[in-house]
Structure 1
Amino acid sequence: MKKYLIAGLLVWLPLAITLWVLLWLYGAMDGMFLWLLSGLQKAVPAGVVSDGLESLRGIPFLGVFVMVALLLGTGVFATNMFGQWWLRQGDRLLGRIPIVKSIYSSVKQVSDTLFSSDGNAFREAVLVQYPHQGSWTIAFVTGRPSGEVAAHLAGDHVSLYVPTTPNPTSGFFLIMPRSAVRPLHMSVDEALKYIISMGVVAPPPPAPPAVRLGEADPNRMG
Protein backbone atom coordinates (compact mmCIF):
# COMPACT_ATOMS: atom_id res chain seq x y z
CA MET A 1 0.00 0.00 0.00
CA LYS A 2 2.77 2.44 0.91
CA LYS A 3 4.60 1.69 -2.34
CA TYR A 4 1.51 2.45 -4.43
CA LEU A 5 0.74 5.63 -2.49
CA ILE A 6 4.25 6.97 -3.08
CA ALA A 7 4.08 6.02 -6.77
CA GLY A 8 0.76 7.85 -7.12
CA LEU A 9 2.15 10.86 -5.28
CA LEU A 10 5.14 11.05 -7.63
CA VAL A 11 2.74 11.12 -10.59
CA TRP A 12 0.32 13.74 -9.29
CA LEU A 13 2.61 16.05 -7.29
CA PRO A 14 4.45 17.62 -10.29
CA LEU A 15 1.12 18.06 -12.10
CA ALA A 16 -0.48 19.65 -9.05
CA ILE A 17 2.40 22.08 -8.49
CA THR A 18 2.47 22.99 -12.20
CA LEU A 19 -1.27 23.62 -12.17
CA TRP A 20 -1.00 25.70 -8.99
CA VAL A 21 1.70 27.92 -10.52
CA LEU A 22 -0.32 28.38 -13.72
CA LEU A 23 -3.46 29.24 -11.74
CA TRP A 24 -1.49 31.72 -9.65
CA LEU A 25 -0.15 33.42 -12.78
CA TYR A 26 -3.62 33.46 -14.30
CA GLY A 27 -5.11 34.98 -11.15
CA ALA A 28 -2.40 37.64 -10.93
CA MET A 29 -2.77 38.69 -14.57
CA ASP A 30 -6.56 38.57 -14.48
CA GLY A 31 -6.60 40.61 -11.27
CA MET A 32 -4.41 43.28 -12.83
CA PHE A 33 -6.67 43.37 -15.89
CA LEU A 34 -9.76 43.83 -13.70
CA TRP A 35 -8.00 46.63 -11.84
CA LEU A 36 -7.27 48.41 -15.13
CA LEU A 37 -10.84 47.81 -16.26
CA SER A 38 -12.20 49.36 -13.05
CA GLY A 39 -9.99 52.40 -13.60
CA LEU A 40 -11.28 52.83 -17.14
CA GLN A 41 -14.88 52.54 -15.95
CA LYS A 42 -14.31 55.33 -13.44
CA ALA A 43 -12.65 57.51 -16.08
CA VAL A 44 -15.47 57.27 -18.67
CA PRO A 45 -19.00 58.51 -18.04
CA ALA A 46 -21.81 56.03 -17.48
CA GLY A 47 -23.40 54.86 -20.71
CA VAL A 48 -22.79 52.56 -23.61
CA VAL A 49 -18.99 52.61 -23.23
CA SER A 50 -19.17 51.83 -19.52
CA ASP A 51 -21.63 48.98 -20.13
CA GLY A 52 -19.34 47.59 -22.82
CA LEU A 53 -16.39 47.60 -20.44
CA GLU A 54 -18.48 45.83 -17.81
CA SER A 55 -19.33 43.07 -20.29
CA LEU A 56 -15.61 42.34 -20.75
CA ARG A 57 -15.38 40.98 -17.21
CA GLY A 58 -17.21 37.80 -18.19
CA ILE A 59 -14.91 36.83 -21.08
CA PRO A 60 -12.58 34.01 -19.92
CA PHE A 61 -8.81 34.40 -20.40
CA LEU A 62 -9.29 37.90 -21.82
CA GLY A 63 -7.21 39.36 -18.99
CA VAL A 64 -4.26 37.09 -19.82
CA PHE A 65 -4.33 38.00 -23.51
CA VAL A 66 -4.66 41.71 -22.76
CA MET A 67 -1.80 41.72 -20.22
CA VAL A 68 0.51 39.75 -22.54
CA ALA A 69 -0.30 42.14 -25.38
CA LEU A 70 0.30 45.09 -23.04
CA LEU A 71 3.70 43.73 -22.01
CA LEU A 72 4.70 43.10 -25.63
CA GLY A 73 3.54 46.57 -26.66
CA THR A 74 5.44 48.14 -23.78
CA GLY A 75 8.57 46.21 -24.75
CA VAL A 76 8.34 47.41 -28.36
CA PHE A 77 7.77 50.97 -27.16
CA ALA A 78 10.71 50.84 -24.73
CA THR A 79 13.21 49.50 -27.27
CA ASN A 80 12.99 52.34 -29.80
CA MET A 81 14.44 55.85 -29.57
CA PHE A 82 11.07 57.57 -29.23
CA GLY A 83 9.98 55.32 -26.37
CA GLN A 84 13.32 55.58 -24.59
CA TRP A 85 13.05 59.39 -24.65
CA TRP A 86 9.61 59.27 -23.04
CA LEU A 87 10.81 56.76 -20.45
CA ARG A 88 13.69 59.06 -19.51
CA GLN A 89 11.24 61.91 -19.04
CA GLY A 90 9.07 59.70 -16.84
CA ASP A 91 12.09 58.67 -14.75
CA ARG A 92 13.01 62.32 -14.23
CA LEU A 93 9.46 63.17 -13.20
CA LEU A 94 9.23 60.32 -10.68
CA GLY A 95 12.72 61.20 -9.43
CA ARG A 96 11.45 64.59 -8.25
CA ILE A 97 8.63 63.29 -6.06
CA PRO A 98 9.97 63.15 -2.46
CA ILE A 99 8.78 59.73 -1.25
CA VAL A 100 8.24 58.04 -4.60
CA LYS A 101 11.75 58.74 -5.86
CA SER A 102 13.46 56.68 -3.14
CA ILE A 103 11.24 53.64 -3.75
CA TYR A 104 11.12 53.89 -7.54
CA SER A 105 14.83 54.50 -8.03
CA SER A 106 15.80 51.57 -5.78
CA VAL A 107 13.41 49.12 -7.45
CA LYS A 108 14.41 50.28 -10.93
CA GLN A 109 18.11 49.94 -10.19
CA VAL A 110 17.67 46.40 -8.88
CA SER A 111 15.41 45.31 -11.76
CA ASP A 112 17.73 46.84 -14.38
CA THR A 113 20.67 45.01 -12.83
CA LEU A 114 18.91 41.64 -12.60
CA PHE A 115 17.10 41.59 -15.94
CA SER A 116 19.40 43.58 -18.16
CA SER A 117 20.58 41.54 -21.16
CA ASP A 118 24.12 42.90 -20.86
CA GLY A 119 24.37 42.51 -17.08
CA ASN A 120 26.23 39.81 -15.18
CA ALA A 121 23.75 39.22 -12.35
CA PHE A 122 22.66 35.58 -12.01
CA ARG A 123 24.57 34.58 -15.15
CA GLU A 124 26.99 32.20 -13.39
CA ALA A 125 26.63 29.42 -10.84
CA VAL A 126 29.60 28.76 -8.55
CA LEU A 127 30.61 26.55 -5.65
CA VAL A 128 31.62 28.15 -2.34
CA GLN A 129 32.39 27.03 1.18
CA TYR A 130 29.49 28.15 3.37
CA PRO A 131 28.62 28.44 6.24
CA HIS A 132 32.02 27.10 7.35
CA GLN A 133 35.15 25.53 5.94
CA GLY A 134 34.55 22.08 4.50
CA SER A 135 30.82 22.73 3.91
CA TRP A 136 30.01 23.51 0.25
CA THR A 137 26.97 25.07 -1.37
CA ILE A 138 25.92 26.55 -4.70
CA ALA A 139 25.79 30.32 -5.13
CA PHE A 140 25.09 32.75 -7.96
CA VAL A 141 27.37 35.60 -8.95
CA THR A 142 25.48 38.91 -8.79
CA GLY A 143 28.36 41.23 -9.65
CA ARG A 144 31.41 42.82 -8.06
CA PRO A 145 31.62 45.03 -4.95
CA SER A 146 31.71 48.73 -5.62
CA GLY A 147 31.81 52.04 -3.80
CA GLU A 148 32.87 52.18 -0.15
CA VAL A 149 32.69 48.39 0.22
CA ALA A 150 35.20 47.84 -2.59
CA ALA A 151 37.55 50.41 -1.05
CA HIS A 152 37.86 48.26 2.10
CA LEU A 153 38.62 45.05 0.19
CA ALA A 154 42.03 44.09 -1.14
CA GLY A 155 42.18 41.94 -4.24
CA ASP A 156 39.51 40.65 -6.59
CA HIS A 157 36.15 39.95 -4.90
CA VAL A 158 32.72 38.92 -6.16
CA SER A 159 29.21 39.43 -4.82
CA LEU A 160 27.28 36.20 -4.30
CA TYR A 161 23.71 35.19 -3.56
CA VAL A 162 23.33 31.90 -1.67
CA PRO A 163 19.71 30.69 -1.99
CA THR A 164 17.97 28.51 0.57
CA THR A 165 16.18 25.28 -0.22
CA PRO A 166 13.50 24.44 -1.18
CA ASN A 167 12.56 28.14 -1.44
CA PRO A 168 15.29 29.91 -3.44
CA THR A 169 13.64 33.34 -3.13
CA SER A 170 15.22 33.73 0.30
CA GLY A 171 18.93 33.45 0.97
CA PHE A 172 22.13 35.19 1.99
CA PHE A 173 24.30 37.86 0.41
CA LEU A 174 28.05 37.22 0.58
CA ILE A 175 31.20 38.96 -0.63
CA MET A 176 34.05 36.54 -1.17
CA PRO A 177 37.46 36.55 -2.86
CA ARG A 178 37.35 35.33 -6.43
CA SER A 179 40.04 32.77 -5.52
CA ALA A 180 37.64 31.15 -3.00
CA VAL A 181 34.98 30.60 -5.66
CA ARG A 182 34.91 27.54 -7.89
CA PRO A 183 33.05 28.09 -11.20
CA LEU A 184 30.60 25.42 -12.35
CA HIS A 185 29.77 24.30 -15.88
CA MET A 186 26.08 23.89 -15.07
CA SER A 187 23.65 26.58 -16.18
CA VAL A 188 21.68 28.77 -13.76
CA ASP A 189 18.50 26.77 -14.50
CA GLU A 190 20.25 23.49 -13.75
CA ALA A 191 21.68 24.91 -10.53
CA LEU A 192 18.23 26.10 -9.41
CA LYS A 193 16.76 22.64 -10.05
CA TYR A 194 19.60 21.12 -8.04
CA ILE A 195 18.96 23.52 -5.13
CA ILE A 196 15.15 23.24 -5.12
CA SER A 197 15.29 19.43 -5.23
CA MET A 198 17.76 19.44 -2.31
CA GLY A 199 20.35 17.66 -4.44
CA VAL A 200 18.03 14.97 -5.79
CA VAL A 201 17.84 16.29 -9.38
CA ALA A 202 21.51 16.51 -10.30
CA PRO A 203 22.55 18.06 -13.62
CA PRO A 204 24.46 15.86 -16.07
CA PRO A 205 28.27 16.03 -15.92
CA PRO A 206 29.94 18.34 -18.45
CA ALA A 207 30.68 16.73 -21.79
CA PRO A 208 34.36 15.93 -22.44
CA PRO A 209 36.10 18.24 -24.90
CA ALA A 210 35.86 17.15 -28.52
CA VAL A 211 38.98 15.59 -30.00
CA ARG A 212 40.15 17.24 -33.19
CA LEU A 213 41.06 15.18 -36.23
CA GLY A 214 44.67 14.04 -36.01
CA GLU A 215 44.91 14.55 -32.23
CA ALA A 216 45.23 11.68 -29.78
CA ASP A 217 42.39 11.08 -27.37
CA PRO A 218 43.81 11.52 -23.81
CA ASN A 219 41.20 9.09 -22.44
CA ARG A 220 42.15 6.36 -24.88
CA MET A 221 44.73 3.87 -23.65
CA GLY A 222 47.60 2.88 -25.91
Structure 2
Amino acid sequence: MRKYFITGLLVLVPLAITAWVLNIIISTLDQSLLIVPEAWQPHTLFGRDIPGVGAVLTIAIVFLTGLLTNNLVGGYIVRLGERLLKRVPVVSSLYGSVKQVSDTLFSSSGNAFRTPVLIPYPHADSYTIAFLTGVPGGDVKNHLVGDYVSVYVPTTPNPTSGFFLMMERSKVVELDMTVDAALKYIVSMGVVAPDEATTK
Protein backbone atom coordinates (compact mmCIF):
# COMPACT_ATOMS: atom_id res chain seq x y z
CA MET A 1 0.00 0.00 0.00
CA ARG A 2 2.77 2.43 1.00
CA LYS A 3 4.73 1.57 -2.15
CA TYR A 4 1.79 2.43 -4.43
CA PHE A 5 1.12 5.66 -2.55
CA ILE A 6 4.74 6.81 -2.94
CA THR A 7 4.71 5.82 -6.62
CA GLY A 8 1.56 7.90 -7.10
CA LEU A 9 3.20 10.86 -5.37
CA LEU A 10 6.27 10.59 -7.59
CA VAL A 11 4.01 10.79 -10.66
CA LEU A 12 1.51 13.42 -9.48
CA VAL A 13 3.68 15.88 -7.50
CA PRO A 14 5.85 16.96 -10.49
CA LEU A 15 2.71 17.29 -12.63
CA ALA A 16 0.92 19.36 -9.96
CA ILE A 17 3.90 21.66 -9.42
CA THR A 18 4.36 22.10 -13.19
CA ALA A 19 0.66 22.94 -13.60
CA TRP A 20 0.82 25.38 -10.66
CA VAL A 21 3.86 27.20 -12.06
CA LEU A 22 2.34 27.37 -15.56
CA ASN A 23 -0.89 28.72 -14.08
CA ILE A 24 1.02 31.50 -12.31
CA ILE A 25 2.97 32.39 -15.47
CA ILE A 26 -0.10 32.38 -17.74
CA SER A 27 -2.17 34.36 -15.20
CA THR A 28 0.59 36.96 -14.98
CA LEU A 29 0.95 37.23 -18.76
CA ASP A 30 -2.83 37.48 -19.13
CA GLN A 31 -2.64 40.85 -17.36
CA SER A 32 -1.60 42.32 -20.73
CA LEU A 33 -5.28 42.09 -21.72
CA LEU A 34 -5.84 45.16 -19.54
CA ILE A 35 -4.39 47.31 -22.35
CA VAL A 36 -6.95 45.90 -24.82
CA PRO A 37 -10.25 47.83 -25.21
CA GLU A 38 -13.16 46.27 -23.31
CA ALA A 39 -15.02 45.51 -26.54
CA TRP A 40 -12.17 43.31 -27.81
CA GLN A 41 -11.58 41.32 -24.66
CA PRO A 42 -12.50 37.58 -24.64
CA HIS A 43 -15.19 37.85 -21.97
CA THR A 44 -16.98 40.45 -24.13
CA LEU A 45 -16.56 38.62 -27.45
CA PHE A 46 -17.15 35.06 -26.24
CA GLY A 47 -18.94 35.58 -22.93
CA ARG A 48 -16.13 34.05 -20.88
CA ASP A 49 -12.43 34.51 -20.13
CA ILE A 50 -10.03 32.33 -22.15
CA PRO A 51 -6.78 31.58 -20.28
CA GLY A 52 -3.67 32.06 -22.38
CA VAL A 53 -4.96 34.75 -24.75
CA GLY A 54 -3.05 37.39 -22.77
CA ALA A 55 0.06 35.19 -22.84
CA VAL A 56 -0.11 35.02 -26.65
CA LEU A 57 -0.62 38.79 -26.77
CA THR A 58 2.39 39.35 -24.50
CA ILE A 59 4.62 37.13 -26.65
CA ALA A 60 3.41 38.98 -29.78
CA ILE A 61 4.16 42.36 -28.17
CA VAL A 62 7.66 41.25 -27.14
CA PHE A 63 8.35 39.86 -30.63
CA LEU A 64 7.07 42.99 -32.40
CA THR A 65 9.07 45.21 -30.04
CA GLY A 66 12.23 43.30 -30.90
CA LEU A 67 11.39 43.40 -34.61
CA LEU A 68 10.77 47.15 -34.61
CA THR A 69 13.80 47.90 -32.44
CA ASN A 70 16.11 46.14 -34.89
CA ASN A 71 15.27 48.49 -37.75
CA LEU A 72 16.47 52.07 -38.12
CA VAL A 73 13.23 53.88 -37.22
CA GLY A 74 12.41 51.62 -34.25
CA GLY A 75 15.94 51.93 -32.86
CA TYR A 76 15.71 55.71 -33.09
CA ILE A 77 12.36 55.75 -31.23
CA VAL A 78 13.76 53.49 -28.47
CA ARG A 79 16.84 55.70 -28.05
CA LEU A 80 14.62 58.80 -27.95
CA GLY A 81 12.42 57.20 -25.29
CA GLU A 82 15.46 56.24 -23.22
CA ARG A 83 16.79 59.81 -23.39
CA LEU A 84 13.43 61.10 -22.13
CA LEU A 85 13.36 58.57 -19.28
CA LYS A 86 16.88 59.55 -18.20
CA ARG A 87 15.69 63.12 -17.65
CA VAL A 88 13.09 62.10 -15.05
CA PRO A 89 14.84 62.19 -11.62
CA VAL A 90 13.59 59.00 -9.91
CA VAL A 91 12.76 57.03 -13.04
CA SER A 92 16.21 57.59 -14.56
CA SER A 93 18.12 55.83 -11.78
CA LEU A 94 15.62 52.96 -11.56
CA TYR A 95 15.39 52.42 -15.34
CA GLY A 96 19.16 52.72 -15.77
CA SER A 97 19.87 50.10 -13.11
CA VAL A 98 17.26 47.64 -14.40
CA LYS A 99 18.39 48.09 -18.02
CA GLN A 100 22.03 47.52 -17.11
CA VAL A 101 21.19 44.28 -15.29
CA SER A 102 18.88 43.02 -18.06
CA ASP A 103 21.44 43.85 -20.77
CA THR A 104 24.04 41.90 -18.81
CA LEU A 105 21.81 38.87 -18.19
CA PHE A 106 20.12 38.56 -21.59
CA SER A 107 22.84 39.78 -23.93
CA SER A 108 24.08 37.00 -26.20
CA SER A 109 27.60 38.42 -25.98
CA GLY A 110 27.66 38.57 -22.18
CA ASN A 111 29.19 35.96 -19.87
CA ALA A 112 26.90 36.36 -16.86
CA PHE A 113 25.52 33.07 -15.54
CA ARG A 114 27.23 31.09 -18.30
CA THR A 115 29.88 29.48 -16.11
CA PRO A 116 28.97 27.28 -13.12
CA VAL A 117 31.71 27.24 -10.49
CA LEU A 118 32.49 25.44 -7.24
CA ILE A 119 33.34 27.67 -4.28
CA PRO A 120 33.97 27.21 -0.54
CA TYR A 121 30.80 28.51 1.15
CA PRO A 122 29.69 29.31 3.84
CA HIS A 123 33.06 28.28 5.29
CA ALA A 124 36.32 26.76 4.07
CA ASP A 125 35.27 23.14 4.72
CA SER A 126 31.99 23.12 2.77
CA TYR A 127 31.31 23.82 -0.89
CA THR A 128 28.44 24.99 -3.06
CA ILE A 129 27.70 25.71 -6.71
CA ALA A 130 27.70 29.32 -7.86
CA PHE A 131 27.73 31.20 -11.16
CA LEU A 132 30.47 33.47 -12.41
CA THR A 133 29.07 36.97 -13.06
CA GLY A 134 32.17 39.05 -13.76
CA VAL A 135 34.90 40.88 -11.89
CA PRO A 136 34.67 43.55 -9.16
CA GLY A 137 34.63 47.09 -10.51
CA GLY A 138 34.58 50.70 -9.41
CA ASP A 139 36.21 51.64 -6.13
CA VAL A 140 35.64 48.10 -4.83
CA LYS A 141 38.58 46.69 -6.82
CA ASN A 142 40.87 49.33 -5.28
CA HIS A 143 40.34 47.74 -1.87
CA LEU A 144 40.81 44.12 -2.92
CA VAL A 145 44.36 42.82 -2.96
CA GLY A 146 44.84 40.11 -5.56
CA ASP A 147 42.80 38.63 -8.41
CA TYR A 148 39.09 38.50 -7.55
CA VAL A 149 35.94 37.44 -9.38
CA SER A 150 32.25 38.10 -8.72
CA VAL A 151 29.95 35.13 -8.19
CA TYR A 152 26.25 34.62 -7.51
CA VAL A 153 25.30 31.89 -5.03
CA PRO A 154 21.67 30.79 -5.57
CA THR A 155 19.64 29.40 -2.69
CA THR A 156 17.90 26.02 -2.67
CA PRO A 157 15.24 25.23 -3.84
CA ASN A 158 14.53 28.79 -5.05
CA PRO A 159 17.48 29.92 -7.21
CA THR A 160 15.97 33.37 -7.85
CA SER A 161 17.22 34.52 -4.46
CA GLY A 162 20.80 34.20 -3.32
CA PHE A 163 24.02 35.95 -2.39
CA PHE A 164 26.51 38.07 -4.30
CA LEU A 165 30.12 37.36 -3.33
CA MET A 166 33.58 38.51 -4.41
CA MET A 167 36.15 35.75 -4.07
CA GLU A 168 39.78 35.13 -4.92
CA ARG A 169 40.01 33.55 -8.35
CA SER A 170 42.29 30.81 -6.98
CA LYS A 171 39.45 29.57 -4.74
CA VAL A 172 36.94 29.37 -7.59
CA VAL A 173 36.85 26.16 -9.64
CA GLU A 174 35.13 26.22 -13.03
CA LEU A 175 32.86 23.21 -13.48
CA ASP A 176 32.53 21.12 -16.62
CA MET A 177 28.70 21.24 -16.69
CA THR A 178 25.99 23.29 -18.34
CA VAL A 179 24.05 26.02 -16.58
CA ASP A 180 20.87 23.90 -16.90
CA ALA A 181 22.52 20.92 -15.21
CA ALA A 182 23.85 23.13 -12.41
CA LEU A 183 20.42 24.69 -11.82
CA LYS A 184 18.75 21.26 -11.73
CA TYR A 185 21.32 20.14 -9.20
CA ILE A 186 20.64 23.20 -7.03
CA VAL A 187 16.83 23.16 -7.30
CA SER A 188 16.65 19.41 -6.57
CA MET A 189 18.82 19.91 -3.45
CA GLY A 190 21.42 17.54 -4.85
CA VAL A 191 18.99 14.76 -5.74
CA VAL A 192 19.29 15.18 -9.53
CA ALA A 193 23.05 14.87 -9.94
CA PRO A 194 24.61 15.89 -13.29
CA ASP A 195 26.30 13.30 -15.50
CA GLU A 196 29.88 12.57 -14.64
CA ALA A 197 32.38 14.59 -16.68
CA THR A 198 35.92 13.66 -17.61
CA THR A 199 38.28 14.53 -14.76
CA LYS A 200 40.55 17.42 -15.67
TM-score, normalised via structure 2 length: 0.91
Amino acid at match of 1:21: V
- SS for the counterpart of 2:190 is coil
Which residue of 58, 66, 70 maps to 2:57? Answer: 66
Q: Equivalent residue for 1:47? A: none
- AA in 2 matched with 1:29: L
1:189 equivalent in structure 2: 180
After superposition, the Cα gap between the structure-2 partners of 1:106 and 1:16, relative to the gap in structure 1 and judged at 3 Å, is same
Count matched residues. Answer: 197
CA shift for structure 1 position 2: 2.2
Q: What's the offset of the Cα at 1:64?
A: 2.1
User: How many percent of aligned residue pairs carry the same amino acid?
Assistant: 53
User: SS in structure 1 opposite 2:8?
Assistant: helix
- Distance in 2, Cα, partners of 1:36 & 1:137: 44
1:175-207 Cα offsets, whole Å, 9 max, x none, are 001111001011111000000111110110125
Of 76-85 and 162-171, more deviation after overlay is shown by: 76-85
Equivalent residue letter for 1:124:
T
Q: Could you say which structure has the larger radius of gyration?
A: 1
CA deviation after TM superposition for structure 1 residue 82, in Å: 2.6
Q: 1:152 maps to which residue? A: 143
Sort the Cα spacing of 1:110 and 1:13 in 2 relative to 1 into closer, same or farther, 3 A.
Answer: same
> Do the aligned partners of residues 74 and 135 (structure 1) sit closer, same or farther apart at CA in structure 2, a change above 3 Å counting?
same
Q: CA RMSD in A?
A: 1.9
5+ residue gaps, structure 2, are none
CA deviation vs aligned residue, 1:101-136 (integer Å, no higher than 9, x gap) = 121111111111111111111010000000111101
Q: Is the 8 A contact 2:154 2:162 kept in 1?
A: yes
What's 1:17 paired with?
Answer: 17
Give CA-to-partner distance per residue, 1:121-155, whole Å, 9 cap, x none: 10100000001111010000111111101111233
TM-score, normalised via structure 1 length: 0.82
Residue segments in structure 1 that go unaligned for 5+ positions in a row: 42-50, 210-222
Task: Report whether the alignment pairs 1:91 with 2:82.
Answer: yes
Q: What's the secondary structure of 2:146's corresponding residue?
A: coil
